[in-house]
């Protein structure tokens, strides 16, 4: 009987100690879940001015691998703002936000990539959300000719590139302004679907750092689906395997060194084309390629040629 009583007493003491322990921790430390800063200060520069200062050339950069990849550390409070017009909701834009700001007074319209090391940014940075970014202690430059802000990292090939900033930097360098506005003018893509758009894409003068990235839409047919090409499987150089049929946006068998697949959009005028770049293993990559004319909306960038990356499965339509 004494043993049973002692057992009950021991269990009661354990339960009491457990309750006491939980009482000390039943309210989580919400500071751990704060992703952005309350205030980064007042906007004191524009995206265009930042591009002109840090992205025009690699000559005065802190580090330069080549004319397409270079960056400089920002040591002063330079604060820009813009509306999130592209995020990682589908997984196609990896660790990437694109912000855009249209100045109502001057008409200046510029976009910039904000790279953040996290695989699920869209719940925090929804489309239409205006943000302010203090560039101090971050790095600004170009990655494959595309202006961006982030931090340096070494690639798997041993190259030093301008990669994504650590997520913790959001707590000191990024501020949310208001709530997402799906009617923000910045969310209206630039229309490059007609002959004027085709001419703009072909003009060499437009292939500069000031015109990339941008939110745009183009219209045409996928080359890999025309004239019987949809029935011929291609062989991936890296995988050594043939892609599955019917053709998909980005089958894993065709991945390149950047773990993406390039298709070709032949524009309606048939005088030029835009690469359709899609990462493998995401919501878009497994969709079947359309054979007819479609409109494709997304982040338009320029390297050796123009390419567009869709933001979500809703970014192409007949």
CA distances 11 to 6, 155, 296, Å, are 9, 55, 65
155 or 230, which is more confident? 230
Model pTM greater than 0.85?
Answer: yes
Alpha-carbon gap, residue 310 to 244, rounded angstroms: 22
Alpha-carbon gap, residue 280 to 250, rounded angstroms: 5
- Whether the per-residue pLDDT at 6 is higher than 90: the answer is no
Res 8: pLDDT: 36
Helix (H, G, I), strand (E, B) or coil at 155: coil
- Whether the per-residue pLDDT at 284 is higher than 50: the answer is yes
Q: Which of 27-31, 262-266, 282-286 has the lowest mean pLDDT?
A: 27-31
Mean pLDDT over the full length of the chain: 90
Res 33: pLDDT: 55
Helix (H, G, I), strand (E, B) or coil at 57: coil
| Phi–psi pair at 8, nearest 5 degrees | -60, -40
Six token digits for residue 89: 């909701």
- Whether the per-residue pLDDT at 1 is higher than 50: the answer is no
Res 3: pLDDT: 38
Which sequence spans correspond to the domains of the chain?
A: 47-185, 190-317
Res 269: pLDDT: 79
Q: What is the mean pLDDT of residues 199-223?
A: 96
Res 32: pLDDT: 52
Tens of pLDDT, residue by residue over 46-64, are 999 999 999 999 999 999 9
- Whether the per-residue pLDDT at 305 is higher than 80: the answer is yes
Q: How confident is the model at residue 29 (pLDDT cuts 50, 70, 90)?
A: very low
Q: Are 277 and 307 in contact (CB under 8 A)?
A: yes
Tens of pLDDT, residue by residue over 64-99, are 999 999 999 999 999 999 999 999 999 999 999 999
CATH number of 190-317: 2.40.50
């Amino acid at each position: 009987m004494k043993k049973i009583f002692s057992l009950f007493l021991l269990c009661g003491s354990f339960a009491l100690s457990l309750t006491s322990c939980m009482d000390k921790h039943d309210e989580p430390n919400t500071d751990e879940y704060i992703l952005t800063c309350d205030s980064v200060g007042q906007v004191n520069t524009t995206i265009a001015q930042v591009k002109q200062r840090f992205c025009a050339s690699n000559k005065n950069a802190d580090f330069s691998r080549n004319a397409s990849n270079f960056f400089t550390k920002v040591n002063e409070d330079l604060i820009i703002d813009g509306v999130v017009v592209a995020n990682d909701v589908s997984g196609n834009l990896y660790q990437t936000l694109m912000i855009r700001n249209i100045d109502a007074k001057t008409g200046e319209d510029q976009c910039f990539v904000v790279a953040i090391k996290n695989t699920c940014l869209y719940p925090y940075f929804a489309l239409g959300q205006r943000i302010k970014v203090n560039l101090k202690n971050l790095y600004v430059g170009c990655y494959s000719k595309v202006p961006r802000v982030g931090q340096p990292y070494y690639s798997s090939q041993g190259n030093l590139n301008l990669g994504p900033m650590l997520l913790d930097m959001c707590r000191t360098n990024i501020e949310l302004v208001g709530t997402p506005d799906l009617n923000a003018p910045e969310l209206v893509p630039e229309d490059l679907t007609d002959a004027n758009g085709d001419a703009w894409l072909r003009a060499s003068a437009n292939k500069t750092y000031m015109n990339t990235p941008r939110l745009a839409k183009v219209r045409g047919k996928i080359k890999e689906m025309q004239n019987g090409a949809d029935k011929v499987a291609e062989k991936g150089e890296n995988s050594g395997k043939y892609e599955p049929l019917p053709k998909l946006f980005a089958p894993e068998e065709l991945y390149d060194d950047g773990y993406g697949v390039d298709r070709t959009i032949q524009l309606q005028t048939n005088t030029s084309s835009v690469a359709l770049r899609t990462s493998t293993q995401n919501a878009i990559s497994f969709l079947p390629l359309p054979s007819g004319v479609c409109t494709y909306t997304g982040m338009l960038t320029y390297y050796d040629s123009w390419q567009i990356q869709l933001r979500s499965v809703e970014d192409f339509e007949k």
